[in-house]
Each structure stands twice: as structure tokens, then as C-alpha cells.
Structure 1
Amino acid sequence: MSAELTFPTASTPNPLSISAEAQAWVNRTRDNLSVEQQIAQLFVLSSREDTDAEIDELCGVQPGGIHRFPTESLDRAWYATREVMARSEVPMLLSGDIEGGTISYPFCTQIPNQMGIAACDDLALTEALARVLAVESRALGYNWSLTPVVDINRAFRSALIGTRSYGSNVDKIIEHGCTHVRTLQAHGLAATAKHWPGDGLDDRDQHVATTVNSQTLDEWMQTFGRIFRALIDQGVASVMSAHIAFPAFIRSMLPNAGRSAFEPASVSKLLNEELLRNRLGFRGLIVSDSTAMGGLTSWMDRATAVPAVIENGCDVFLFSRNAAGDMKHMLDGLRAGRLSERRLNEAVTRVLTFKASLGLHTASLESRLAPLEQVRAQLQTVSHRAVAREAAGRSLTLVKDTQQLLPLDPTRHRRVVIISDAGSNFFAGAPARSFAPLCDELTRRGFEVRAFDPHAVPTRENADLVLYVLGQEATPTASHIYIDFAKLHAGGRNAMRQFNRELPTMLISFGQPYFLYDAPNFQTYVNGYCSLADQQIELARRLVGEASFSGVSPVDAFCGLEQLRW
């Protein structure tokens, strides 16, 4: 065992520290629950529809918590949240992936994603944005955010991490991550460091396959070991254990591990209990990543996996396609000895302690979720919108302009052809994807903007400027991120046709930061990280020289290749 993997643990904070009175509530509540009710407390189920039928289904199994995904109606979101809170016998956790970017409610202040925030390179602004998230999320009834993402963005083909990450610099990830955690938790919103034991190095997606952190022990210690330990020292309340293997550590303990060296962390006692708890000293809540992901479902059958998640160190079982069926799998696992009574008791106690640490055991329904109009008044306030707009502008990053195209001028670049792919949303309630704000801003400044027509391709006779505009942020199950010229140019043969040597051409990404890899000879490239309206409006100002670019790239947008720099 490498000595570097041993940490002093005596000084690590306990984010679940509670009063004697609260501890009495935990013990009393736990002991009054049946075994079936205790098992239900381990489950956090997802809400996506806000329908009465969904509310009835969720409340019918009395889970420990509900995880809300973005939906479009504030009225329905408020109603659904109020209902599940009112109908919960034990106060319910309300969690969300509160990351910014496209994982946003349309009726909340929409801020840049984590990479956009990192590009601002200003911890005071990071704190101000986290405060916006915390205040508005608390107004909506949330008490738990499954953020920040503290993965290292190095696999530039990865569709999953990308813009969800603070970048590739470990020190910057620690600074922004700790600021996010400190601010959220100061406002009563528990934070979560994810994805344990560290993602962003494998370009595969744990939503569809078990992925691997391939680092040596020493490499891990200098990167993810430092990151997670810093967040633990900051007092982060929870850590998400992902469907990611860490074979170097497993083999350091079991040299002949074989296939088990590649077991997902979500079902690895060695990674959760030995490395995270014993070595790093984490004393908070461990939540699994979504148990519906292929990284778990392809590793073991469901009946085995369900109790294994809890038995091997996770305290919360996240999501289920069949809640009643999975709860039965958990009970069957307990009866068969695949889930020990010790671990069930430990996990239930920790979940209830987590709730008590958030004050849920004494909070009234009204204090958890105010009347609708009071909630509405706390969303999208003038000050919140101003912070979001400032961040949108400051995040914009001019990666290169070797042709000295900027600033654009409607007298020289009047006829603009837009070749675009707005990308897709994984979450049904996320803000609509459109480049209308950018087109409108350019038109207002005297440009004539038209969409690409494969039957009338841009030439020097009919166009003065070609803008490629891409909007795909990091998203699950998208395989790999790349510029699909066949899609953009409406056909495989047309994909071979390039315009950048015939006309001034610019590539703009309102999403992943590595698109230059597929267009190495494009001489002007801007990263905007997400396609929210503020990003587009602020970019138009910078394209014409009304404001300057100040974003600092959180990653190597040249992908380590000299070719891309020219």
C-alpha cells in the first residue's frame, strides 16, 4: 500500500453533526419504522412530470426523498412539491442536479454551466452564482443539490463530462468546488461532490457502460485524491459514488482481483468504505449515482445489484424504474443475507441524521415551501438576472483569431450565413434550444442573416461571412461529441465541401469546448459553453467590438495539438 494513500482523519469535519435533541428524533424515528419503511428511507426516486398520477405513485411507496428534474410550469412544480411534502410521514429530501446551463428550470434565473463559470475565472463571481442557485432552489423547496461536479475534463471526446466540469486544472477545480459547496451549505442546501472516484479521463459514458479511472495510485493522489480531500475538509455533506472502476486501488488491496478490479464504485466496499471513509476520512452521506444507468445494470443483475449498493457502502439508492420491485429486491437481499442488518441500520440512521442536519425534523411545511406567489417573487429577481448576465459575458472565450476577423463589421460582413446545430436536451423540461437571440442581435446591428441552404451554398457572390454555430453541451448517452458536417451540410457528400478558404468563417460553440479538433483549419473560434439567451446576446456585443472577450479557457481547447493553433 502506497503511504501517500493514507490521510490523517482526526481533523475531518462531520457534516452530519447534530444536537442531542435531533439525535433523539433520529433514534426514535428509526426505531418506530418497520423494516419495509426503513428500506423505503434509502430510496430517492425521480420526478419528471408533476402529474397527479406521478405524485400518487411516488407518495404511495413513501421514499426517503424525491429528485426533481426540470419541468416547464412553476405552478405545477410548486403543487407537486407541496403535495409530496404534505403526504410524507417522515420529512422528505428534495434533491436536484442544480448545475446551471441546460439543467435549469425555464422559470428560474438561468446561469452558465460549470465550465462557463470556471471560464469567468473569478471566485467572487462563482460565489455570487452559487448564491443565486441556493436562494432560488431553497425557495422551490430543495434541500439537497447533487453538485458540484468535480471531475477532471481531459477526455475531449467525452460527451458526458465536458461543460459540466470546472475544467482540467486540479487547483481551479478545488477552488471553484469548495466555493460552491461553502455557499450552498451556508444557505441550508446540502452539496454533493461527484463523481467518486473521479470521472473525465475515460471518454465512455457510465450511463451506458461501466467506465474506468485508469490512473495509478500516485496519479490519483495528486488529482482526485486532492480534490475529494479538499471538499471533505470543506465539510461537503455528501459524495456520489459512481459506476466507475478504479482498478489500481482494488489491486493494491487484492492483487489477484481479476474481474472484480473493474467493479463500479457504487458496489465497491473497498472504494466506498476503505478509501473514501477510512483513508480520506469522509463522515457524510454516500449516495449512489443513478441505479438505472448501464454502468451498473450491465455489471450485475438487478436482484443482486439492489442490496449490493447499500451493503457496499452507499447510504442512498438513487432512482428506480420500478420502485416497489426494487424495494422488494432490497428486502429479499436482507432476508438472504446479501444486505446485513448492520448496513441497513447504519444507512437508515445516516439518512435520518442527514435530514435532521438540514433541520427537516422540526421544519413546518410552510417554512419548507412558501405560498406560490412568495416563491415566484424570489425567482429571476433583478439582482439575480444581473449576476447571470455578467457571468454570461465574462465567460465568453476567444480561443483563436489568426485571420484577424474580429470585430465584425456590417459594411464588410453584411451577408451572414448561419450553419447550425442547436443540439439536444436530455431533460424534457430544460430551456428550449435555439439560436434566435444571436440572429436577432446580429440583425439589429445591420447584418443580413440567413440559414444555410444546401441548394444555394455560400459563395463570394452571395455571402460575406459564414458562421458555424454549435450548441451541444455535455449530455448523457450521446456517445461522443464531434462536428457532424454531414448533418450540418445536409448530406455525406456535402460534408466534404468546406467554405473557410473561400469566405471568412468563424466557429462558435455554445457547448463543448473541443470542436476545433474537427475543424483544425478554421482560423477564428469562440467558446461560449452554453446557449442560454444571455450568452448569445453578450456574444453579439463582443463580435462587433462593443465589449471585449475576457474568458479564460478552463481546458486546452487545442487538444494538445499544434495543428489546431494555426
Structure 2
Amino acid sequence: MTFDPARAPFHLDPEAADWVRATLAGMNRRQKLAQLLNVLVRTDDDAELARLQELGLGSITRNPTRDPEGEAEIRAAFDAAAPAPLLVSADLEGSRMTQPGGTTLPNPLGLAAIDDLAATEAATAILARDGRANGVNWSFTPLLDVNAAFRSAIVGTRSFGSDPDRVRRHALQQIATFQSNGVAATAKHWPSEGYDDRDQHLVTTVNPLSVEAWEATFGRLYRDAIAAGVLGVMVGHIAFPAFVRAEGDEAGAFLPATISRHLIQTLLRERLGFEGLIVSDATSMGGLGQVMPRRDFLHRLLTAGNDVILFSPDPAQDIAWLEEAVEDGRLGMDRVEDAVSRQLALKARLGLHRGPLPPLPRDSEADAATARELHARVPTLVKDRDGLFPVSPASHRRVLIVTGGIVFPFVQDPIPFALPEMMRARGFEVTLHEKGTPFRPADHDLVLYLMGEESLLTRGHIHVDWWRMLGDFGAAMVRPWHDVPTAMISFGHPYYLYDAARMPAYVNAYATSEAMQQAVLDAITGVTPFTGTSPVDPFCGREDTRL
């Protein structure tokens, strides 16, 4: 079936549809191929920026580094050099993925702990406005993955939890709110993640469900997102062997969906009826690179059905390789033009054919007040066996904090927690345990283990590394709660009880931001109540973790 921009999800009027066709007709082959690449633009060097701009790219992902006016000039230069307006993409997820100059908000798992669609709507509207202030018009959210494998470091806090119904509610709310604020939403990671505890950044992961079980969970989620008008779908480096085998292709059973025509064209396009824009996940990831060299998989991304190739590390080389594939017949121009047409349709759907989108009005004070209210509703009291909370300087003045700091994949060294200083400001005497020094919990009135690992890219797995945290073989085996009140607080990964069974008090807060640390301090000291409800099973399906 020929692509028609007047149909769902774009619903373009005749003027906009004519613009799509006329713009496509005005491009030469190289310009069309350049439109298919999304480049992660990290550089601030003017010469390097100019080299990228002159390629005429269709979309970029950029974390702003200059002042707003300087960033607007960079985007304008990309626009001026290209035959079509620029899509600017980002992962609008909250927490440490907050846009520069934006308001810090709970991440998806934190919003799921609130489990109030009005809260998700309010948070998503702020995310959209903050993105628009930086030129973002395309978000790689929401996730339709589920927390089925508790060891998964990559799904974790980026998902809305383990209950498909809760995931559905909040994902559909995000889609509606993003798109009503002029930001195209993207459901990911097709055909969906959650049952493999490995990371697509490192290895092709596997969705092990039968076709029937997939239809009852992920199939339903994607069908509902498509019915709700989601404009984009991101395809993950995830194999779905049950479906591919049902199509009679044993050899392709464990290929990542990104290069599987069965999973994109047959399942997503034909059976689910999605006619929007399809973008691959990042093409530098090990889940794709382990299968074949970039030169070999590049054209296969397009022939499988992707319309945008995410994160080209060398776009000039990629364009040359795609031209080779066209020349020797591995890639047909009809597929290229179909992909470019869908991208142009998205741009017209956003109104970019009429000119750059202006920033949306923002009220920083009101947004900050909303963020404080939302953060206060996130902390989840999972376990308090001995009735420890609330604590105060009067009852637990001397506090020993044990932590490895906040781990963030884009910085090399752990980030220190702000919570110790926050506690000192409230009258607590706080001591930070130094790795490798004698561990003397009995000298204190309270021991707090602070964990700071949100979903991590390329981490593999998240667990309590007692030896690394304490720096001593003997100290790693000490469990102080028989002598001193003890609690573990997770600002991220919600499953540490698996490694800390019988921890008498345990709190999940899902995000490492300073705003969340403040909210947790208010909760553990009784300033605010614990109201979060767990969107996952923090006990990991075990009985011993409940003791």
C-alpha cells in the first residue's frame, strides 16, 4: 500500500500533504539519504558544526551547551542547509535526563509510584515545554517495556513498572500530553523489552514470549498506542524468535528487530497497522553491532522498515555506504522515498513546514512548585519491620551513611549524594563511611545505606556490591541492624532487597536527583507521609526478602 500522509496518524490536510510530495520531489538522491540519518551532535566546535550542517541532515539529537540564542543559531544553520526542516530529538524522561535549564521531575517509575494520571499529565507537560525551549520537537518516549526481569539494569526506572495495565495508563497519557504540546511521542522499544535481564547496548536481547502471550501484553500495549495516535515507534535490538519462526524463518529467529523485516514490516506495519515514523534504536549499540559490520547492516535497517537511522557516528561515510547500496541494488529508492515521506509527514504534522515552532510559555515558579509536589508523592515505604520511621535528631542524632555514590553512565566517577548535607542542616550529626576504614556502626544511632543507580546503559546488571561499597572483605559481611537501627534507601533501582534480604527498613525513591533526596528526607523525618505505591515487586518474588 502506498503511503498516504492524509491517513492516521498524521492526518495531513491537502496543503500539508502537497508540501510533503513537493519537498520530496525537489530532493536529489544524496539529499534523500541524508534525511534518513539522526546524528548525536555533541560538538561545540564551530568548524565541526558547519561540517555536519552542510550534510543536510533530517534530524539531530543535541544536549544544549550554549546559551539559548546560540543554540537557536545552530539549529537554524542545520535548517538552512537542508531541503526540509529539522527534527530535534531527545529522551524526555525526567530525573537526570532533565533538559538543560529545565525543571527536574520524577522519572517514569517514580510517576508510576504516584499512579495518578493527572500527575503524569502535569509532569509530561513540563517536560514538553522544557524540551520545546531547547528546540526539541520529537521525544523518544514513552517506554512500553515492562519490569518482568527484576535484574534488568536497562528497563528498571525507565519503565512504568511491571503491570501492563499501569504501563498502558501512563504511556497513553504521555502520548496525549506530549503531542498536544507539539512534541511527537515515540513508543519504544519494539517489540518490547522486559523478560531478558541483559542490555541491548551490550548484546541482542530476546523477547521469549509466545506469539499469543506477546499479543496479550505488548501487542495490546502497541495496538492501544497506535489507536491513540502515537506518531513514532522506536525499534530495539531485540529478537522475537516465536514470531519470526512462525513466519518460517529459522535463520532469522534471533536477529534484532532493527534488521528484521518480519518484525517491522509484517508485524508492526501490516498486522498492527502502524503508518507513522519508525526509528531504529542507536546503531552504535552492541545489540546490533555484534551481528554484522555497520557497512553491512546500514542498508538492512531501511529495507527492514526503519525510516530513520539513529545516531550516525560518521554521517558522511554512512551516506556514501547507502549510495553504494542503492547503486548495487541492495537498497531501492522506492524504500528510501517512502521513509523520507514519512519523516516529512511528521514534520508537517508538527507544523514545521510553516516555520520553526516557537517555545511554549513557561512559568518556572509554578513548574517548580508542581515538581516539589510530585516528588513528595513518590517515596515508597517498602518495609519497616521495627517501626524505625520517622527519625529525628532527638532519637537518631548520630547517623552513619554507607554509599558508593550516584552512578550515572555519562560521567566516569560517582556523584556524591546531597542528602548528608541536607541531614546536617536539620541537626543530624552525619558521618560518611570511608571505604577501607574500620566499620563501626555501634558508634552511631542510625545506619543508612544509600544506593544511587537509576537504569544504567552498558552496566549489565545492578546489585549490592558490598565489598566495593565498604572497601573491606570483613566489613562486607557485617549486618549491623541487630545492634543499630538500619535502613536502606534506593534512589533508583528498586530491587536491592534481593541482595539485602532481612534489611529491616527499606525505601524506594526511583530517582537520584537532589529534588528526590529532599523528598525522601521529608518522608523519613515525618514532614510528609509515605504515599508512593510500588509499581514493581520490590521483594523480587521471594519470601526471605520480606522478613
TM-score (norm 1): 0.92
The answer for the alignment partner of 2:534 in structure 1 is 553
Where does residue 379 of structure 2 map in the other structure?
A: 396
- Separation of aligned partners in 2, 1:434 and 1:530: 14
2:532 maps to 1:532 = no
Comparing 167-176 with 450-459, which one deviates more in the overlay?
Answer: 450-459
Following superposition, the deviation at residue 467 of structure 1 comes to 0.4
Counting matched residue pairs gives 541
Query: Corresponding residue for 1:316?
Result: 308
1:333 maps to 2:325? yes
Distance in 1, Cα, partners of 2:145 & 2:334:
32
**Does residue 382 of the first structure (1) align with residue 376 of the second (2)?**
no
Instruction: Indicate whether 1:196 and 2:178 are aligned.
Output: no
Call closer, same or farther: CA 1:429–1:327 in 2, change over 3 Å: farther
Q: Distance in 1 between matches of 2:64 and 2:233?
A: 22
2:395 match: 412
CA contact (8 A) 1:148 1:191 kept: yes
Paired letter, 2:515: D
Deviation at 1:501, TM superposition (A): 2.3
Taking structure 1 as reference, are residues 26 and 262 closer, same or farther at Cα in structure 2, changes over 3 Å only? Answer: same
2:491 is aligned with 1:510:
yes
Residues 13/482 of structure 1: CA separation in 2 closer, same or farther (3 Å cut)? farther
Write the distance in 2 (CA, Å) between the matches of 1:252 and 1:17.
34
2:189 aligned with 1:208: no
Alignment of 1:51-450 (within 5 A): 51-69=45-63, 71=65, 77-254=71-248, 257-363=249-355, 365=356, 368-369=357-358, 381-427=364-410, 433-436=415-418, 438-450=419-431
Residue pair 1:441, 1:537 contacting (<8 A) in 2 also: yes
- Match for 1:455: what amino acid? T
User: Per-residue deviation at 1:428?
Assistant: 5.5
Aligned to 2:3: none
Q: Helix, strand or coil: the match of 1:260? A: coil
CA change 1:491–1:338 in 2 (3 A) is farther
Match for residue 6 of structure 1? Answer: none
Give the distance between the partners of 1:65 and 1:139, measured in 2 at CA. Answer: 17
1-structure distance, mates of 2:73, 2:427: 46
Q: Which secondary structure does the structure 2 equivalent of 1:471 belong to?
A: strand
Amino acid at match of 1:295: G
- CA distance change for structure 1 residues 350 and 392 in 2, over 3 Å: closer, same or farther? same
Shift of 1:339: 1.0
Matches of 1:277 and 1:501 in 2, distance apart? 59
Q: 2:186·2:232 contact (CA, 8 Å) conserved in 1?
A: yes
Q: What secondary structure is seen at the aligned counterpart in 2 of 1:184?
A: helix
1:9 maps to: none
Q: How far 1:494 sits from its partner (Å)?
A: 3.0
Secondary structure of 1:258's counterpart equals coil
Contact 1:115/1:164, CA 8 A, preserved across alignment = yes
Distance in 2 between residues matched to 1:441 and 1:512, nearest whole Å: 22
Tell me the alpha carbon deviations over residues 417-436 of structure 1, each in whole angstroms, 9 at most, x when there is no partner.
Answer: 11112232223599x94322
Determine helix, strand or coil for the equivalent of 2:352: coil
- One-letter code aligned to 2:489: I
Could you list the per-position Cα deviations for residues 287-315 of structure 1 after superposition, in whole angstroms to 9, with x for gaps in the alignment?
A: 11111111111112212200000011111
Distance 1:25-1:551 versus aligned 2 partners, 3 A rule: same
Contact map agreement 1:36 1:331 (CA 8 A) in 2: yes
Query: Secondary structure of the residue that 2:455 maps to in structure 1?
Result: coil
How much has 1:195 moved relative to structure 2? 0.2
Supply the AA of the counterpart residue of 2:439.
V
SS at match of 1:519: coil
Work out the CA distance in 2 between the residues paired with 1:222 and 1:211.
Answer: 20
Counterparts of residues 42-53 of structure 1 (less than 5 Å): 42-53=36-47
Q: How far is the alpha carbon of 1:497 from its aligned partner?
A: 2.7
Measure, in 1, the Cα distance between the counterparts of 2:449 and 2:73.
42
- Unaligned regions of 5+ residues in structure 1, if any? 1-11
- Pair 1:479 & 2:449 matched: no
2: CA distance, partners of 1:208 / 1:321: 17
| Pick aligned residue for 1:523 from 476, 482, 504 | 504
1:154–1:168 Cα contact (<8 Å) kept:
yes
Tell me by how many angstroms 1:88 deviates. Answer: 3.6
Distance 1:552 1:287 in 2: 34
- 2:35 matches 1:41: yes
SS state of the match for residue 118, structure 1?
helix
1:202–1:497 CA distance, 2 compared to 1 (3 A): same
Q: Measured at CA, do residues 427 and 309 of structure 1 come closer, stay the same or move farther in structure 2, by a change above 3 Å?
A: same
The CA distance in 2 between the partners of 1:333 and 1:357, in whole Å, is 30
Tell me whether 71-80 or 343-352 shows the greater mean CA deviation: 71-80
Q: CA deviation at 1:127?
A: 0.5
Q: Which runs of 5+ in 2 are unaligned?
A: 1-5
Q: 1:559: how far off?
A: 0.3
Cα 1:122/1:199, change in 2 over 3 Å: same
Question: Is 1:266–1:288's contact at 8 Å kept on the other side of the alignment?
Answer: yes
Q: Which amino acid aligns with 2:440?
A: P
Instruction: Tell me: CA distance 1:429–1:484, structure 2 relative to 1, closer, same or farther (3 Å).
Output: closer
User: C-alpha deviations, 1:334-377, integer Å up to 9, x for none?
Assistant: 112211222112111111111111111111x4xx356xxxx8xx
Amino acid at match of 1:545: G
Report the more deviating stretch, 556-565 or 105-114. 105-114
The answer to whether the 8 A contact 1:394-1:551 is kept is yes
**Residues 1:57 and 1:486: Cα distance change in structure 2 (over 3 Å):** farther
CA shift, 1:79, in A, is: 4.7
The percentage of counterpart residues that share the same residue type is: 42
Report the Cα offset of residue 75 of structure 1: 6.2
Q: Measured at CA, do residues 106 and 492 of structure 1 come closer, stay the same or move farther in structure 2, by a change above 3 Å?
A: farther
* Deviates most, 440-449 or 189-198: 440-449
Assess if the C-alpha contact under 8 Å between 1:50 and 1:76 holds in 2.
no
C-alpha deviation, 1:505, in angstroms: 0.8
Q: Please list the CA deviations of residues 442-486 of structure 1 after superposition, one character each: whole Å capped at 9, or x if unmatched.
A: 2222210110034242232x2111100011100110010001111
Cα separation, partners in 2 of 1:555 and 1:532, compared to 1, 3 Å:
same
Query: Partner of 2:437 in structure 1?
Result: 455
> Aligned partners of 1:83 and 1:551: how far apart in 2?
46
Change (3 A) 1:562 1:552: same
Alpha-carbon distance change, 72 to 493 in structure 1, aligned in 2, over 3 angstroms: farther
What CA deviation, in whole Å up to 9, does each residue of 1:83-126 have, x standing for no partner? 43444442111111111111123421011110001111100110
- What is the distance in 2 between the residues matched to 1:433 and 1:291? 29
Compute the displacement of 1:154 (Å). Answer: 1.4
Three-state SS of the structure 2 residue aligned to 1:419 is: strand
Matched-pair contact (CA < 8 Å) for 1:267–1:312: yes
Higher relative contact order (CA 8 A, sep 6+): 1
Residues 488/321 of structure 1: CA separation in 2 closer, same or farther (3 Å cut) = same
Letter in 2 for 1:386: A
TM-score relative to the length of structure 2: 0.95
Partners of 2:470 and 2:227 lie apart in 1 by 51
CA RMSD of aligned residues (A): 2.0
Cα offset, 1:24, TM superposition: 1.6
Give the Å deviation of 1:180.
0.2
